[in-house]
Structure formats: structure tokens, C-alpha cells
Amino acid sequence: MANLRLAVFASHEGTNLQALIDAQKEGRLLAEIVCVISNNSNSGALRRAKAANIPAYHISDKMFVSNDDYVKALIDILDKHNANLIILAGYMKMIPIEIIRKYKNHILNIHPALLPKYGGKGMFGLNVHKAVIEAGDKVSGATVHIVNEEYDKGRILNQVQVEVLPDDTPETLAARILPFEHKLYAETINKIAKKEIILE
């Protein structure tokens, strides 16, 4: 079984992070969350990490004079905690190319739709669900994929389908998909730990 050490990147409330923290606490996660990084000093994700005694860091490119310094700060934290899998959980910044290359095939993201549909720049949050409803799709869901140098274009690792109801709004569809996202992320990480999904 792979010894997975997760660095979770999150920008806002951190509900996907909390689902992973809960799974870890209850022994349902075959991995250890070793640090949490947020570009938002007021994020719920940082509060959730601190409440769970997980090292939490506010790192934003705005804090640094150069991109090199910003990238070095991120890598220093990842190295310090021996992270070997980066988990994006509602992280609203593009990951620096240097990190994507250093951790090639070892950065995961969860997307609230069935990729390859409804991915790409600007496709996040309610924008995704609005696009699904406007297209008249009967099914949506969530996708865990590898992060590469293009938005939402990395290899798909796992998906779950969720029915779109006739009276759905972007908000109701988002709320119904979210619990499935939470389960899907932990399930995918466990499959990687058990080598049922190979990242290389």
C-alpha cells in the first residue's frame, strides 16, 4: 500500500478538506493529511486545518516580490512535510508550472461536472452548474482528475454521476453534488493507496 502524504490546497470554506479530515479521523482514509495551504488568509480551510491540528499555511503570490520566491516558499513547505500527493480542494489559483512539473501526475483536482464537458477557464463553482442546466443535460456529477499544464485537461481518474432534476437551479444542483464530491475524493485517494489507480 502506498504511503500517501497529502498536501491539501484550498481557497475558501474547505468542505472537501473537512470531508477528508473526517475520513482520516474515522480511519476511512488510507493517507495522512500533512499540511494545508491556502491563498486566502481568512479561508475556512485554514480554520478547519488548525482545529484538526494539521499544519496550516497562508501563502499567496501577493506576499512575494518574485514568482521564484513564491514557488520556493510552496516547495519548502511541501518538502518540509514530505508531501507526495497534492490535493486541490476548491483552490482558486492556477498552480505554478514549476510545481506541476515537480509533482507530475501527483496533483489531483476535483471538478463539479463530468469532464471533459464543462471544464476549462472560468468553469468553476456555480458557473459549471449553470452551464449544465442551460445545456439541458439530464446527468451531471463530479470528476477527480490529474492536474497538468492545461485547465481541467489531465487524465480522469474517477467520476460519479448525479441526476439533474427538472426544477434544479445552479444552487440546488451544486448542493446535491457536493456530498458525492466528498465521498469521491476519499474513495479515489484510497484507490491510489491500494494501487487500484496508478498515477505514473
Q: Is 6 helix (H, G, I), strand (E, B) or coil?
A: strand
Q: Whole domain around residue 35: which residue ranges?
A: 5-193
What average pLDDT does this structure show over 183-189? 97
Please report whether residue 26 resides in a domain: yes
**CATH number of the domain residue 126 falls in:** 3.40.50.170
Please report whether residue 135 resides in a domain: yes
Please report whether residue 187 resides in a domain: yes
Number of H helices, E strands in the chain: 6, 7
Q: Among 85, 78, 100, which residue's Cα sits nearest to residue 30?
A: 85
**Percent of the chain predicted with pLDDT > 90:** 92
Please report whether residue 14 resides in a domain: yes
- Annotated catalytic residue 111: yes
Please check whether residue 14 is in contact with residue 39, taking contact to mean a CB–CB distance below 8 angstroms.
no
Please report whether residue 64 resides in a domain: yes
Burial class (CB in 10 A: 0-12, 13-18, 19+), 107: buried
Considering the candidates 12, 58, 106, 111, report the single residue annotated as catalytic: 111
Count of domains in the chain? 1
Q: What is the DSSP letter of 9?
A: E
pLDDT at 1 over 70: no
Please report whether residue 199 resides in a domain: no
Q: Check: pTM over 0.75? Answer yes or no.
A: yes
Please report whether residue 59 resides in a domain: yes
146: cell is 490529474
- How are beta strands 5-9 and 32-38 bridged, if at all? parallel
Euclidean distance between CA atoms 131 and 128, whole angstroms: 5
pLDDT tens-place string over residues 132-183: 999 999 999 999 999 998 888 899 999 999 999 999 999 999 999 999 999 9
Please report whether residue 200 resides in a domain: no
pLDDT tens-place string over residues 71-115: 999 999 999 999 999 999 999 888 999 999 999 999 999 999 999
Q: Note the pLDDT of residue 2.
A: 65
Please check whether residue 177 is in contact with residue 140, taking contact to mean a CB–CB distance below 8 angstroms.
yes
